[in-house]
């Protein structure tokens, strides 16, 4: 027996209204529209914010391949292409929705005019018109709106290209909005687009907003000498090859103020740590630990804020990585989780060290370890900090203390037991930086005093040559921070101290 069926299409007006609420911002909506321009091989994309109170509009003009009437009609259709359809390797789309959902999230009227081989086609959705009558019909208008008409002239000199016009911007402006509010939006949009498309900008594609070029923002500061980068690693997965490259950005002290501010990113250093997931070189996720972690998912902590990891996935992996309609989330498949956790753990540890040492190298030269004054011992549930009695300055006192050495040791234990760990921790969280330690940034006279005592001890008591003693001092904390003071030590210094 044949099963009875019913045809039950969604109610047009209600469906279109619901799709407005996917959570786009103006910036993410425009990025989704630009994806289509780039997928259509455009290399010049102009965005314009046109203020006109309730007649304000935003348009995006590209010189891509354009569409003929049939293609344009399919482009306007919700779900015109299925998510399961195989896409070309460079396609940035997936769900056949982006153009519509992104546009509706900002305004109630979407016009697309496109030219292909000099033939112009123009179609328009208007949510107010959809709501007319019973609201059941998907009525698509031919031609632009009354206000949009003049804009068609923008395509005049194009053989191929596409113009997307967003009008009735009820989600962008309100009756109270001023022109300044509207124009202020452009800054956030500029930064977001500069971030999302930074690998396209400056090489393959130019984007302008009201004639001002969007500057690329590279999250990894790859050209800075103090950035640490791992070699790029290719990982085979069932849905294609992914590539991972780990970076630890320079400590604040190694960056000038402007670079430090700009490199932070739109949400600030701590929020911008973690994986940066790119799909076909377009950024989807700007800093997230992707739910990875040991036992518990890692959260974003101050101490790991310098860790940023580039992760490239192909568009054949969308399903595996659970790419969402807004292209703003991605979840690693189980098969790759373990590898990613390993890489992230190593990067987080490196980032933590750079953060804690204020960017000073802990190793000198190739392999020699720095002689540190504090020993950190990892114990279950935390760490124990103790003073290293092998540190030359400590050793010197202990050796010359004679009968007093047990009292000196007792004093050291008191210091170890009472370091204000809680206080330091709080101060760090508050300032976003570890507190400056004793010698840090001070006029080196205090350092010089201690340095001279040690220098004298090494050369006179330990019988080291001046050169050997100087080399030795360079490997001791905190003197390694002032190589120029050590370089200045000489025979004369010694005679001056003696007299």
Ligand X SMILES: Nc1ncnc2c1ncn2[C@@H]1O[C@H](COP(=O)(O)OP(=O)(O)O)[C@@H](O)[C@H]1O
**Site residues (CB under 6 A) for ligand X?**
36-37, 40, 62, 64-65, 67, 75, 80-81, 93-100, 162
Residue number, 61 or 292, with CB nearest to ligand X: 61
Output the residue with the shortest Cβ distance to Mg ion.
98
Shortest spacing between CB 97 and Mg ion, in angstroms: 8
Rank residues 81 and 391 by Cβ distance to ligand X and give the closer one: 81
List contacts with Mg ion (CB under 5 A): 35-36, 93, 98
Residue 145 CB, shortest distance to Mg ion, in Å, is 22
**Which does residue 100 touch among Mg ion, ligand X, none (CB within 5 to 8 A, set by kind)?**
ligand X
Which of Mg ion, ligand X, none does residue 457 bind to, with CB < 5 to 8 Å depending on kind?
none
97: partner contacted, choices Mg ion, ligand X, none (Cβ within 5-8 A by kind): ligand X
Q: Supply the minimum distance, in Å, between the C-beta of residue 279 and ligand X.
A: 12
**CB-nearer residue toward ligand X: 94 or 348:** 94
User: How would you write the chain as a 3-class SS string?
Assistant: CCCCCCCCCCCHHHHHHHHHHCCCCHHHHHHHHHHHHHHCCCCEEEEEEECCHHHCEEEEEECCCCCCHHHHHHHHCCCCCCCCCCCCCCCCCCCCCHHHHHHHHHCCEEEEEEEECCEEEEEEEEHHHHCCCCCCCCCCEECCCCCCHHHHHHHCCCCCEEEEEEECCCCCCCCCCCHHHHHHHHHHHHHHHHHHCCCCECCCEEEEECCEECCCCCCCCCCCCCCEECCCEEEEECCEEEEEEEEECCCHHHCCHHHHHHHHCCCCCCCCCEEEEEECCEEEEEEECCCCCCCCCCCCCHHHCCEEEEEEECHHHCCCCCCCCCCCCCCCCHHHHHHHHHHHHHHHHHHHHHHHCCCCCCEECCCEECECCEEEEEECCEEEEEECCCCHHHHHHHHHHHHHHHHHHHHHHHHHHHCCHHHHHHHHHHHCCCCCCCCCCCCCHHHHHHHHHHHHHHHHHCCCCHHHHHHHHCCECCHHHCHHHHHCCCHHHHHHHHC
Partner that binds at residue 107, options ligand X, Mg ion, none, CB closer than 5 to 8 Å by kind: none
Of 207 and 246, CB closest to ligand X: 207
Rank residues 75 and 165 by Cβ distance to ligand X and give the closer one. Answer: 75
Q: Please report how close the Cβ of residue 152 comes to ligand X at its closest, in angstroms.
A: 15
Q: Output the smallest distance, CB 133 to ligand X, in A.
A: 26
Smallest gap, in angstroms, from Cβ of residue 79 to ligand X? Answer: 9
Cβ distance to ligand X smaller for residue 322 or 384: 322
248 binds, among Mg ion, ligand X, none (CB under 5 to 8 A by kind): none
Between residues 60 and 244, which has the closer beta carbon with respect to ligand X? 60
Q: How far is the CB of 93 from Mg ion (least distance, A)?
A: 4
Q: For ligand X, which residue has the nearest CB?
A: 93
């Amino acid at each position: 027996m044949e099963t009875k069926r019913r045809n039950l299409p969604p109610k047009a007006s209600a469906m279109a209204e619901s799709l407005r609420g996917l959570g786009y911002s103006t910036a993410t909506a425009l990025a989704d529209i630009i994806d289509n321009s780039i997928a259509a091989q455009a290399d010049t994309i102009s965005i314009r914010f046109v203020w006109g109170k309730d007649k304000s509009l935003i348009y995006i003009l590209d010189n891509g391949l354009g569409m003929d009437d049939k293609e344009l009609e399919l482009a306007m259709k919700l779900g015109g292409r299925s998510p399961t359809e195989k896409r070309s390797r460079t396609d940035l789309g997936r769900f056949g929705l982006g153009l519509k959902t992104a546009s509706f999230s900002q305004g109630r009227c979407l016009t697309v005019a496109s030219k292909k081989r000099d033939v112009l086609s123009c179609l328009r959705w208007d949510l107010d018109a959809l709501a007319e009558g019973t609201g059941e019909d998907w009525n698509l208008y031919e031609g632009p709106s009354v206000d949009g008409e003049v804009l068609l002239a923008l395509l005049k000199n194009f053989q191929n290209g596409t113009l997307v016009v967003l009008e009735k911007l009820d989600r962008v402006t309100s009756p109270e909005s001023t022109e300044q509010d509207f124009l202020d939006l452009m800054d956030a949009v500029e930064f977001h687009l500069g971030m999302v498309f930074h690998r396209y900008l400056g090489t393959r594609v130019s984007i302008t907003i009201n004639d001002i070029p969007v500057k690329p923002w590279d999250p990894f500061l790859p050209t800075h000498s103090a950035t640490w980068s791992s070699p790029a690693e290719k990982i085979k997965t069932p849905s294609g090859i992914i590539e991972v490259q780990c970076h630890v950005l320079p400590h604040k002290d190694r960056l000038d103020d402007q670079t430090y501010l700009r490199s932070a990113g739109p949400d600030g250093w701590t929020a911008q740590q973690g994986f940066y997931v790119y799909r076909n070189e377009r950024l989807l996720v700007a800093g997230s630990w992707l739910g990875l972690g040991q036992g518990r998912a890692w959260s974003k902590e101050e101490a790991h804020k310098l860790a940023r990891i580039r992760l490239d996935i192909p568009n054949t992996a969308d399903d595996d990585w659970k790419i969402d309609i807004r292209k703003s989330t991605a979840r690693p498949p189980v098969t790759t989780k373990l590898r990613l956790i390993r890489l992230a753990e190593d990067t987080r540890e490196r980032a933590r060290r750079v953060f804690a040492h204020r960017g000073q190298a802990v190793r000198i030269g190739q392999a020699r370890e720095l002689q540190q004054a504090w020993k950190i011992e990892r114990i279950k549930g935390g760490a124990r900090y103790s003073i290293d009695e092998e540190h030359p300055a400590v050793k010197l006192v202990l050796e010359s203390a004679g009968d007093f050495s047990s009292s000196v040791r007792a004093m050291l234990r008191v210091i170890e037991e009472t370091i204000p760990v809680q206080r330091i921790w709080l101060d760090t969280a508050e300032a976003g930086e570890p507190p400056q330690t004793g010698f840090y940034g001070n006029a080196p006279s205090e350092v010089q005093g201690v340095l001279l005592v040690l220098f004298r001890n090494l050369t006179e008591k330990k019988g080291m040559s001046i050169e050997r003693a100087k080399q030795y001092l360079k490997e001791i904390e905190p003197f390694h921070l002032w190589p120029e003071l050590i370089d200045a030590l000489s025979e004369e210094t010694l005679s001056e101290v003696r007299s």
